[in-house]
Amino acid sequence: MDIVEELLKGNRLALSRAITAIENETDEAMDIMKKLYPHTGHAFVLGITGPPGAGKSTLTDKLARAYREQGKTVGIIAIDPTSPFTGGAILGDRIRMNGLTMDEGVFIRSMGTRGSLGGLSHKTADAVKAMDAFGKDIIFVETVGVGQSEVDIVKAADTTMVVLIPGMGDDIQAIKAGILEIGDVFTINKADHDGADKLVREMNMMLDLDGLMTDWRPPIQKVIASQNEGITETIENIEKHFKYISENGILTKRRTERSKNEMLDVLHSRIGSYITNKLVETGKMDEYVEKIKARETDPYTVVSHVMKDMLK
């Protein structure tokens, strides 16, 4: 099977195989990405992040259904944590999305973080591109359940939605740096639980104090995802934000920044592995390590040497 050709024709197995190649970083993957790249840049990428158990998967399911009713095709990338000890993972986000499995306009892929700590996996951005080239109109990226500082999603998404739930802490939490700074749209899920209104007040207070705020004030919507309440309003908020960033040049700026990051990521990883391989092949790796261990030299001096040597 020619993966690229079949993927572009709409073959779902080809899309699936492409993402596997990307995740496993096979030799084929870079070739696939090169060929898919010209076909990307059309999808709207929505990031969904928030703490574990906030209802991100349930909300993704409901939002995806709403977009399907508008006739849009949907890709979903759902990320769960990989064990740092065994490398294994339980990817359980599909449990909340079973109703979407048989809809041909939806493609769901679960990914493990595989060592990445920013709430995504290293390969999420490329998996998004594969779905984009496949022709999906909207791609949801659901992060792992995050704590306070896993903010990589902003680099991957056009619009970032932060999902919060009542009862997670007092108002000092609301003025801390981190995930609360990245929300373009806020959703307070499980709004039938105690403390939802208090959380809305605290979030508003946080936004009132935001000195960096542009013309866009992130809306805060109360939702009960399991009962489909507040979904229409949430979609409206997402659309409003997309319209805002499209009309103000922010989307172009974000995508330019993303292109730069993509290039730098590839550059760093390829130069890194090129130099590492050379060091191993020539036996210099062990030599340097021994010298550093014996305190005859230091890592900084070694790296200066290596760079002078190899990057002429």
Partner 1 sequence: MAKVRVLVAKPGLDGHDRGAKVVARALRDAGFEVIYTGLRQTPEQIAEAALQEDVNVVAMSILSGAHPHLFPKVVNLLREKGMNDVLIIGGGVIPETDIPALKEAGIAEVFTPGTPTGDIVEFIKANVK
Residue pair 32/4 in contact (Cβ under 8 Å)? The answer is: yes
- The Cβ-side half-sphere exposure at 258, using a 13 Å CA radius, reads 20
Q: How far is the CB of 23 from partner 1 (least distance, A)?
A: 8
CA distances, 99 to each of 112, 172, 295 (Å): 22, 39, 61
* Closer residue to partner 1, CB minimum distance, 17 or 222: 17
Size of site (CB under 8 A) for partner 1: 30
Residue pair 140/48 in contact (Cβ under 8 Å)? The answer is: yes
Tokens of 57: 């998967």
Q: How far is the CB of 16 from partner 1 (least distance, A)?
A: 4
Q: What track of x and - describes contact with partner 1 for positions 223 through 252 (by CB under 8 A)? A: ------------------------------
- Cα distance between residue 264 and residue 252, in whole Å: 18
Exactly one of 12, 193, 217, 270 binds partner 1 (CB under 8 A); which one? 12
Exactly one of 86, 172, 211, 293 binds partner 1 (CB under 8 A); which one? 86
Does residue 101 interact with partner 1 by CB under 8 A?
A: yes
Q: How far is the CB of 167 from partner 1 (least distance, A)?
A: 26
111 bridge partner residues: 79
Strand pairing category for 74-80 and 138-142: parallel
Exactly one of 47, 55, 112, 218 binds partner 1 (CB under 8 A); which one? 112
What is the DSSP code (8-state) at residue 183? -
Exactly one of 31, 70, 90, 263 binds partner 1 (CB under 8 A); which one? 90
| Strand ranges across the sheet with 220-222 | 106-112, 74-80, 138-142, 44-49, 159-164, 185-188, 220-222
Radius of gyration of the chain (CA): 22
* Closer residue to partner 1, CB minimum distance, 9 or 176: 9
Residue pair 153/119 in contact (Cβ under 8 Å)? The answer is: yes
* Closer residue to partner 1, CB minimum distance, 122 or 241: 122
* The one segment of 22-30, 162-170, 201-209, 217-225 that binds partner 1 by CB under 8 A: 22-30
Q: How far is the CB of 71 from partner 1 (least distance, A)?
A: 21
- Cα distance between residue 199 and residue 177, in whole Å: 17
Exactly one of 41, 92, 147, 169 binds partner 1 (CB under 8 A); which one? 92
Exactly one of 31, 34, 83, 205 binds partner 1 (CB under 8 A); which one? 83
Q: How far is the CB of 13 from partner 1 (least distance, A)?
A: 5
CA distances, 264 to each of 78, 219, 232 (Å): 25, 33, 38
Residue pair 172/199 in contact (Cβ under 8 Å)? The answer is: no
Report the interface residues with partner 1, using CB under 8 A.
Answer: 12-13, 16-17, 19-20, 23-26, 82-83, 86-92, 94-95, 98, 101-102, 107-110, 112, 114
